[in-house]
Chains A and B, each alone.
Chain A
Amino acid sequence: MTWDDLKKNIQDKFSDKILKWFEHNENRIYIDIDPDQLVPFARYLFEDLEARFIIASGVDTPRGGIEVLYHFDFYQLPQVVSLRVFLKKPDLEVESLAPYIKGTEWIEREIAELLGINVKNHPNMVHLLLPDDWPEGKYPLRRDQ
């Protein structure tokens, strides 16, 4: 499938769910979606369009919430698609992708412990990088602490 086909498929399937479609350049695409659309969107990319999950990254923004980006690519294509969800404080909650994409398991543990996001239905939510006796409620990448 070419990128144009993939783009059309994504836009047709989620036309009313995409909050913003931004192409930084022809190979870097950022799609803003609501947090409740994350699982269907990511599953569609991974299962139907055979995308590859690269990594997720979270940033504590000055806009009163945390932005989480889920980066995907499509194997032989140069495009990287980054799904962006904005979690407003204090409801920092997002559904886990790990039951559907095994490769997301570690990074979800990481963003949970470093940014204090509650990843719901994660199969193994224990510390990844921080020690087990790390104090509750302290999140190293949060800017409000």
Chain B
Amino acid sequence: MSEIIPIGPYHPLQEEPEFFRLHVEGEIVTKLDIEIGYNHRAIEKLAESKSWDQVVFLVERICGICSTSHPAASINAMEDLGGIEAPERAQYVRTIVCELERIHSHLLWLGLAGHFIGYNTVWMWAWKYREIVCDILDKMTGNRQSYAMFKVGGVRRDIMDDDISWYRKSLDQLKPALDMFKGAVMDDPVIHARTKDVGVLTKEQAKQYCVVGPTARPSGLAIDVRKDDPYFAYDWIDWDIVVLQEGDVFAKTACRILEMYEAVKIIEQCFDKMKPGIVDLHVKELPPGEGIGRAEAPRGEVYHYCLSDGSNFPARYKVRAPSYTNIFSNEAACVGQSVADAALVLAAVDPCYCCTERLVVVDHDNNTERKYTQNDLIHLSHERTKEVRKELGV
């Protein structure tokens, strides 16, 4: 019997609205339709009525989790347009903020993923240690989220040298936590059973769907803007790009955990290498022309394009967030999965969206409807974990 299972318009695990229509044969997904647009805020259109300075604040509101990646791409685009190079110290400050954001975003995702497969301890711990990062950001920028640090030609606030030892101490507290997460995920037979060979996105599919970030790298695509088109201070730092080959949910999880280690490494080197200096060029205007800016957000490449006619407002502003390509790839990764696994696969790309309410099963033959709440869906996933535990005898 063929059925259609709609998930959405709010994603049952993540936090923003979208709509997935799962076509299933019994328990197995045969096709996936994706609908977005429930949260379209016309930011590109709005940007045309904002001054260049205001655009940076506007794009910061695109996403609450990667709230510094969009401003990063935005100032990269504007600096590309104007041929501006920010001072060295500002580049280090920018890099530190970007990497702190990467750690907190990956921990947030790890917590949600843990909760979803029935590992609530991982959830609580991940979010507990995320607080360390948020505290650092709070002290450094004045905000736990939406830091408003970046501007064309520099940053708005310098990092106080006196605070650096406190930041280092906080990062030191994070390191054993990362080791713990690595152990908890990499060595757990149940997590292996739930995530290995689940939701595989092959390298060829990854290329066809043009995916980016921790959705592409676990599929064997060595792609990272920080390495490929270095911006800020990434070129002056010694760090490695994490590339895995399997393309399954496990590889996506491992990729994010390993990237947090790299992020810590990058931040520490920035503290080591930062020299006193100015942090802002006080740029007054931008010339006519075009600019392209890229930044590696926690979810992958953010791409901004701006067109200037020489006025104080962009004539056109285009934003491509990483989830735009990554979510579409679910179309390939979900096919052949069970419903309990499919919801995990949908979440494994860390879509910038969301969690909530309902799952409706539509039985075409009987013309009946059954509604699932968020708890029902999580229950389904937890039951699957229990089955796996029983099979493994743990």
> Which A residues form the contact surface with B (CB < 8 A)?
24-25, 27-28, 30, 52-55, 57, 59, 69, 71, 73, 75-78, 80, 82, 101-107, 127-131, 140-141
Verify B328–A59 contact, CB threshold 8 A: no
Closest A-chain residue to B83, C-beta based? A25
Tally chain B residues at the interface, Cβ within 8 Å: 36
Q: Which of B142-150, B204-212, B253-261 contacts A (4 or more CB under 8 A)?
A: B204-212
Listed by A's residue number, 6 A-B pairs whose Cβ atoms lie within 8 Å are A54-B210, A71-B292, A103-B211, A104-B210, A106-B328, A107-B320
Secondary structure at chain B's binding surface: helix, strand, loop or mixed? mixed
Question: Which A residues are CB-close (under 8 A) to B348?
Answer: none
Closest A-chain residue to B324, C-beta based? A106
Question: Which A residues are CB-close (under 8 A) to B158?
Answer: none
Question: Which A residues are CB-close (under 8 A) to B178?
Answer: none
In the assembled complex, the CB of A142 is this many whole angstroms from the nearest CB of chain B, namely: 11
Verify B36–A128 contact, CB threshold 8 A: yes
If A57-B316, A73-B229 are given as contacts, then 13 extra A-B residue pairs at C-beta distance below 8 Å, sorted by A number, are A24-B80, A25-B80, A27-B229, A28-B290, A30-B290, A53-B210, A54-B303, A59-B315, A76-B222, A76-B227, A78-B228, A80-B292, A131-B37
Question: Which A residues are CB-close (under 8 A) to B80?
Answer: 24-25, 28
Question: Which A residues are CB-close (under 8 A) to B301?
Answer: 54
Verify A130–B37 contact, CB threshold 8 A: yes
Interface centre among A27, A101, A106 (most CB of B within 10 A): A106
> Which B residues form the contact surface with A (CB < 8 A)?
36-37, 40, 42, 44-45, 80, 83, 207-211, 221-223, 227-230, 289-292, 294, 301, 303, 305, 307, 315-316, 318, 320, 324-325, 328
Assuming A54-B210, A71-B303, is B42 touching A140 (CB within 8 A)? yes
Cα separation A69 to B292 with both chains bound (whole Å): 12
Cα separation A27 to B77 with both chains bound (whole Å): 12
Cα separation A27 to B292 with both chains bound (whole Å): 10
Assuming A28-B292, A103-B210, is B324 touching A54 (CB within 8 A)? no
Closest B-chain residue to A130, C-beta based? B37
In the assembled complex, the CB of A45 is this many whole angstroms from the nearest CB of chain B, namely: 12
Closest A-chain residue to B317, C-beta based? A57
Closest A-chain residue to B205, C-beta based? A102
Verify B45–A129 contact, CB threshold 8 A: no
Verify A24–B290 contact, CB threshold 8 A: yes
In the assembled complex, the CB of A39 is this many whole angstroms from the nearest CB of chain B, namely: 16
Interface centre among B40, B228, B292 (most CB of A within 10 A): B292
Question: Which B residues are CB-close (under 8 A) to A141?
Answer: 44-45
Verify B318–A57 contact, CB threshold 8 A: yes
In the assembled complex, the CB of A70 is this many whole angstroms from the nearest CB of chain B, namely: 11
In the assembled complex, the CB of B100 is this many whole angstroms from the nearest CB of chain A, namely: 25
Question: Which B residues are CB-close (under 8 A) to A101?
Answer: 208, 210
Cα separation A59 to B324 with both chains bound (whole Å): 20
Cα separation A74 to B59 with both chains bound (whole Å): 26
Verify B37–A128 contact, CB threshold 8 A: yes
Verify A78–B230 contact, CB threshold 8 A: yes
Verify A75–B316 contact, CB threshold 8 A: no
Verify B303–A55 contact, CB threshold 8 A: yes
Verify B36–A103 contact, CB threshold 8 A: no
Question: Which A residues are CB-close (under 8 A) to B290?
Answer: 24, 28, 30
In the assembled complex, the CB of B290 is this many whole angstroms from the nearest CB of chain A, namely: 7
Closest B-chain residue to A84, C-beta based? B290
The 6 A-B pairs of least Cβ separation, nearest first, read A103-B210, A57-B318, A78-B229, A55-B320, A129-B37, A59-B316
In the assembled complex, the CB of A3 is this many whole angstroms from the nearest CB of chain B, namely: 12
